[in-house]
Amino acid sequence: MTQPAILAEGLEKRFGALVAVDRCSFVVNEGEVFGFLGPNGAGKTSTMRMIACVSPKTGGRLEVFGLDVNERPREIKAMIGVVSQENNLDPDLSVYDNLVVFARFFELDRAEAARRADELIEFFGLGEKRDTVIEVLSGGMKRRLTIARALINRPRLVILDEPTTGLDPQARALIWERLRTLRDRGSTILLSTHYLEEAERFCDRLVIMDNGKILIEGRPDEIVSSRMGRAVIETVDDPAVLACLAREGIAYERFGDLVHITTNSPEPLIQRLVSSCNPSRLSVRNATLEDVFLRLTGRGLKD
């Protein structure tokens, strides 16, 4: 068995009395795209900051490429690229200068830095803005540049905290497309996101966190099929329908003005519903990660 990219055992982070990460254990294999999902305050960012060696762990074991985060932070940081949630580019510098200045922090020489900067500018479609001061760039361009900057040291592991939050669909699509290329080249990618559909499509494996704990871990399709079944039947929240469902012994969940029935074999169930309950509206769709997410973390607002 090859060495994992990240190994966490009983990982813990406390801020005074608040437990941000509560004895979490997980393994991220090299070459894998691994997702952290969870509502705000679940502990995703705290976990990623500990992995990036910028926030000391309170307890447990945490290794990146076999190196302990407490003992070898400098070597670990040389091997990873970090895209934080907040934009922290240098607003006074141009796109190109942002990249070459950052390259120096990794001890790259001038020629190599220039070569990689131009390569990344090309890869992220920023060529026209190469010498523009970044203050005037759009949100999507700034984000692309932040990701480009995180790749300047050709990291083995890329950590992205909500890389697409707040961007328009075009900008998001472009970022996912580039990340896919990166994955195909063999980089390990660790990311958090609120876009569950994107996580479902893009992550090899993921965890859903809430209140500092990992609630579930696995491949997105396996998580959905094990927790929800194949399909979700939606019908109206109507007293007559509810009474009928109870009479028929069909389990259901109420979400707002809808009733959800999850199942692995929707067809016979639909026939039964139509013939015995006769609801005014009925639809069936595939179960999604979002269904699992909401079932596990609840529907109440988190902050």
Interface positions with another protein (CB under 8 A): 15, 52-56, 70, 73-75, 77-78, 82, 84, 86-93, 97, 101-102, 104-107, 153
Q: How far is the CB of 56 from another protein (least distance, A)?
A: 6
The angle that helices 95-105 and 139-150 make with each other, rounded to 10 degrees, is 30
Q: How far is the CB of 40 from another protein (least distance, A)?
A: 18
b/e burial code for range 151-163 (CB count within 10 A of at least 16 → b):
bbbebbbbbbbbb
The three-state DSSP-derived secondary structure of the chain is CCCCCEEEEEEEEEECCEEEEEEEEEEECCCCEEEEECCCCCCHHHHHHHHCCCCCCCEEEEEECCEECCCCHHHHHHHEEEECCCCCCCCCCEHHHHHHHHHHHCCCCHHHHHHHHHHHHHHCCCHHHCCCEHHHCCHHHHHHHHHHHHCCCCCCEEEEECCCCCCCHHHHHHHHHHHHHHHHCCCEEEEECCCHHHHHHHCCEEEEEECCEEEEEECHHHHHHHHHCCEEEEEECCHHHHHHHHHHCCCCEEECCEEEEEECCHHHHHHHHHHHCCCCCEEEEECCHHHHHHHHHCCCCCC
Q: How far is the CB of 68 from another protein (least distance, A)?
A: 12
User: In Å, how far are 171, 263, 289 from 225, measured between CA atoms?
Assistant: 31, 10, 9
Which of 6/289 has CB closer to another protein?
6
Q: Tell me the two tokens of residue 89.
A: 């580019």
Which of 190/199 has CB closer to another protein?
190
Which of 146/297 has CB closer to another protein?
146
Q: How far is the CB of 125 from another protein (least distance, A)?
A: 22
Which of 84/164 has CB closer to another protein?
84
CA distance 170 to 125: 13
Which of 84/188 has CB closer to another protein?
84
Which of 106/255 has CB closer to another protein?
106
Q: How far is the CB of 100 from another protein (least distance, A)?
A: 9
Q: How far is the CB of 92 from another protein (least distance, A)?
A: 5
Q: How far is the CB of 149 from another protein (least distance, A)?
A: 8
Which of 107/197 has CB closer to another protein?
107
Q: How far is the CB of 274 from another protein (least distance, A)?
A: 57
Which of 101/282 has CB closer to another protein?
101
